[in-house]
Copies of this chain bind each other. A is one copy, B any other.
Amino acid sequence: MSTIVVEVMPKAELLDPQGKAVVGALSRLGHTAINDVRVGKRFEITVDGEVTDAVLDDVRTIATEILSNQVIEDVVGIHVADGVDA
């Protein structure tokens, strides 16, 4: 079994209300060194056997078509856990 990590973040140019809420809470709690926070999603996808190119292509398709909304989000990373960037 192998694990592939997919990382999805809101597009940089979009307002991130969740992130703004976290920044507000952090400054109220005294963490003033924090300038900005953006909140995204992290998926751990487990597949049987080794991660072949075909499996990676499938995961890339899944990442862009299913795990992220390409209108408001970007897939910022796909890598094999404890491995090199895919």
Q: Which residues of A are in contact with B by a Cβ distance under 8 Å?
A: 1, 7-9, 22, 25-26, 29, 31, 33-48, 55, 58, 62, 66-67
Q: Is the interface of A mostly helix, strand, loop or mixed?
A: strand
> Which chain B residues lie closer than 8 Å to A47 at the CB level?
33-35
A37 close to B33 (CB less than 8 A): no
The 4 residue pairs across chains A and B that have the minimum distance between CB atoms: A36-B46, A42-B42, A40-B42, A35-B46
Nearest CB of chain B from residue A34's CB, rounded to whole Å: 6
Residue of A7, A31, A34, A44 with highest tally of chain B CB at under 10 A: A44
Task: Provide the bound-state CA to CA distance between A62 and B38, in Å.
Answer: 14
Which residue of chain B is the closest to A45 with respect to CB atoms?
Answer: B37
